Amino acid sequence: MEPTKTTATAEEPRAAEDSVQTIDAASALEAVMAERDQLLVERADLQDRLLRRQAEFENFRKRAERERADVLEYAATDTVRALLPIADDFERALKVESADTEYARGMELIYQRLVGALTKLGLEPIAAEGQPFDPNVHHAIEMVQRDDVQDHTVIGEYQRGYNFRGRLLRPAMVKVAVKKGS
């Protein structure tokens, strides 16, 4: 009977060893699964951060491109604004009668070339005389009571107004008719 005892005794440590190995394997499996779950969370977080950074960069790129396009489109604004008083002076000079027709013709040609060049850059005159008064594009310098014209109609233009590529560059300085009592 002793051999049976010996066998049983030899198997008992093996069973204990197997149960320890099973517990070790189970805890190792849990540890690996926990690590896997943590890595999946970290991966999802990194993926989210990457997508956000890509979106931020794309938005930045688009904004920079839009700003660059605006700068290029409106780069000439200051130059055109600086040339407007010269065009105004030419207009006033052309209204004065001159005895020398050649000189007057030369002045008109220079004025036409200047206005043509400014128009090519995007300068557009604002229609004023005979138009209803619009405070967004007209600057009223004088208001005159008149009954022969509709109320708040521009009846005179002191200085021409201009848009530059769709934006107001300078409002027109105008004289406006108003009805008596308004």
What does the pLDDT read at residue 156?
92
Instruction: Return left, alpha or beta for 173; rule: phi > 0 is left, psi -120 to 50 is alpha, else beta.
Output: beta
Are 38 and 14 in the same domain? Answer: yes
The domain in which residue 66 lies consists of 1-73
Are 119 and 66 in the same domain? Answer: no
Final residue of a domain: which of 57, 73, 89?
73
Q: What is the pLDDT of residues 80-122, one digit of tens each?
A: 999 999 999 999 988 888 888 898 899 999 999 999 999 998 9
What does the pLDDT read at residue 64?
95
Are 63 and 87 in the same domain? Answer: no
Q: How many domains is the chain partitioned into structurally?
A: 2
Final residue of a domain: which of 47, 73, 99?
73
Are 49 and 27 in the same domain? Answer: yes
Are 89 and 141 in the same domain? Answer: yes
C-alpha span between 139 and 170 (Å, rounded): 9
CATH number of the domain that 92 lies in? 2.30.22.10
φ/ψ (deg, to 5) at 132? -65, 145
Mean pLDDT of the chain: 87
Are 57 and 100 in the same domain? Answer: no
What does the pLDDT read at residue 149?
84
Are 41 and 5 in the same domain? Answer: yes
Final residue of a domain: which of 73, 97, 124?
73
Are 24 and 114 in the same domain? Answer: no
Low-confidence ranges of the chain (pLDDT < 50): 1-8
Strand partners, 123: 164
